[in-house]
Structure 1
Amino acid sequence: MREKASFNFAGKTVLVTGAAKGIGAAIAEQFGSYGANVVVADVDEQGEAAAAGWRQLGRSARFIRCDVSRGSEVAKTVAYAEQEFGGLDILVNNAGIFPRARLAETDEAFWDRVMDINLKGAYLMCQAAVPGMISRGGGSIVNIGSLHATSGAPDTLAYAISKGGIVTLTRNLASALARQRVRVNCIHPGWVASDGEMARLAAAGEGGDSLEKAISRMPMGRMQTGDDIASAAVFMTSDFADQITGQQLTVDGGISSR
């Protein structure tokens, strides 16, 4: 009989991309609260302030600037995590952008930027992190997907396709790496009340009463938070989920069940 499973991540090292703020910051913060060594990777220098704040709480956190669309920076980031903490156990591919454009408005540069960050970035991170995980006897990867992955809205064409690719990446690697005990799963967030989303809604004139009415129609009566997604990531990489791989976990308060 195996040892009792737990949410104790002491001695484990977690690399979270796009973790300077938003969902990524919530994921990094929650892993740190469970004792993990956390590496915050982001193009936004605000990541250093986030990591410094967690260190003041007695947690083990480091920041490294990383553009996930550049292979050289990705390799440097993974090497940094391994050197700082002796190895990398968990990778959360959260970095992404969510620009909107319909087919006619999606030029080649727009398409390439979305794919480079949302899909290529996850592939590069997996490619860099997996060899070390295998050498350590296993690991866990969580890719952050989207409810748009199966079809998307008319103005989320490139974004939806990039997230559909994340699903395929997840399932392909889960099958390829199972024998090496590297688990790969995907989390689809619902409508998350991040600072960026709230700013977008306000700019579009969709705040105030109209937003409250939209929220009131949601199955469980509220938008999701970064902490909701973080809790799912912690579970999917914990001992409790050690037989779960190649799966998609939707955290949307029931939106997609209607």
Structure 2
Amino acid sequence: MKTVMILGGAKGVGREILSACLEKGYNVSFCGRDAREGKEIIQASGKADRLYFHPIDLNSIREIENFHRETLRRFTKVDALVVYAGITPVASLTDTDEEVFDSVFNVNLKAPYFLLKHVVKSMMEQNSGSIIFFGSAHMDYGEMDRTAYALTKSSLYTLSTHISHHYARHGIRSNYVVMGWTDTEGELKLRASEGKSESELKREASAAIPMGRMLSKQDPVPAVMYLISEESCMTTGSLIRITGGEYI
């Protein structure tokens, strides 16, 4: 039985991946800030024996090692790590203050980096593992008001290709999934704060995306499940764009 570790997993596409993994019979270790929310997800699943939730604030890496340690204690191994958690502050280069910069780099880059430090070591010991990074079309240059976010996403791509190049001899593969404009809870909340309704947001996205609609939270899941599975055993160093053609 595979064990999948998710950095995040309580919301958005991460939650959909968690559900898909449970349907496959996998164990899942996930994390988040809200312990009550984690407990509710476990109770609602009816599969408490295959789920572990670790409360953590990703602005600090103090609990990162414990998250990994407790996952191994519960399930003995990590077959796949999905790096999903991230924040998207609205700030241009000229508007970003230090607090926003530090927060986005802590959550989007520093926390994954130090979790990978531990996960890659354990994957080396078992001589296998799959790492899936969630990226963004902002990685190429980013919208004008997403500067710090764009930098973290491009850095994660560098980290993914670094791992795929240097750790393939240990049976570890690493791939980068570019997720397009998606109707996650975070995106809807952000747009609502800007005075934009969900229907207005989706109309705007439909006009901008070549495939004619915003992504649902389920759209990226099949690609992630493929990268977790042994069917992708020779797939590493890849970048896959699930964007509805937003890039073209």
TM-score range for the pair, normalised by the shorter chain length? over 0.9
Are 1:109 and 2:102 counterparts?
Answer: no
Partner in structure 1 of residue 40 of structure 2: 49
Partner in structure 2 of residue 173 of structure 1: 163
Are 1:83 and 2:73 counterparts?
Answer: yes
* Number of corresponding residues: 246
Whether the 8 Å CA contact 2:206–2:214 is kept in 1: the answer is no
Partner in structure 1 of residue 54 of structure 2: 64
Moved over 4 A (4+): none
Going from structure 1 to structure 2, the CA distance change for 1:57 and 1:71 (only over 3 Å counts) comes to closer
Give the Cα separation in 2 of the matches to 1:35 and 1:86. 16
Give the Cα separation in 2 of the matches to 1:171 and 1:253. 24
Whether the 8 Å CA contact 1:32–1:59 is kept in 2: the answer is no
The unaligned stretches of length 5 or more in structure 1 are 1-10
Partner in structure 2 of residue 5 of structure 1: none
Going from structure 1 to structure 2, the CA distance change for 1:208 and 1:193 (only over 3 Å counts) comes to closer
Given residue 241 of structure 2, which amino acid in structure 1 is its aligned partner?
T
What SS does the corresponding residue of 1:159 show, helix, strand or coil? Answer: helix
Give the Cα separation in 2 of the matches to 1:75 and 1:193. 31
The unaligned stretches of length 5 or more in structure 2 are none
Match of 2:223 among 224, 232, 241: 232
Going from structure 1 to structure 2, the CA distance change for 1:58 and 1:118 (only over 3 Å counts) comes to closer
Are 1:13 and 2:3 counterparts?
Answer: yes
Given residue 143 of structure 2, which amino acid in structure 1 is its aligned partner?
A
Per-residue displacement from partner, 1:83-136 (whole Å, max 9, x unpaired)?
101111111111111111112221222111111110111111110111111111
Partner in structure 1 of residue 118 of structure 2: 128
Are 1:250 and 2:241 counterparts?
Answer: yes
Are 1:92 and 2:86 counterparts?
Answer: no
Given residue 76 of structure 1, which amino acid in structure 2 is its aligned partner?
N
Given residue 37 of structure 1, which amino acid in structure 2 is its aligned partner?
N
Given residue 99 of structure 1, which amino acid in structure 2 is its aligned partner?
P
Whether the 8 Å CA contact 1:144–1:189 is kept in 2: the answer is yes
Give the Cα separation in 2 of the matches to 1:71 and 1:111. 16
Partner in structure 1 of residue 28 of structure 2: 38
Give the TM-score normalised by the residue count of structure 1: 0.90
Match of 1:221 among 194, 207, 212: 212
Give the Cα separation in 1 of the matches to 2:129 and 2:93. 39
Give the TM-score normalised by the residue count of structure 2: 0.93
What SS does the corresponding residue of 2:4 show, helix, strand or coil? Answer: strand
Q: Tell me the C-alpha RMSD between the 2 structures.
A: 1.7
Give the Cα separation in 1 of the matches to 2:58 and 2:190. 24
**Could you tell me the percent identity over the aligned residues?**
31
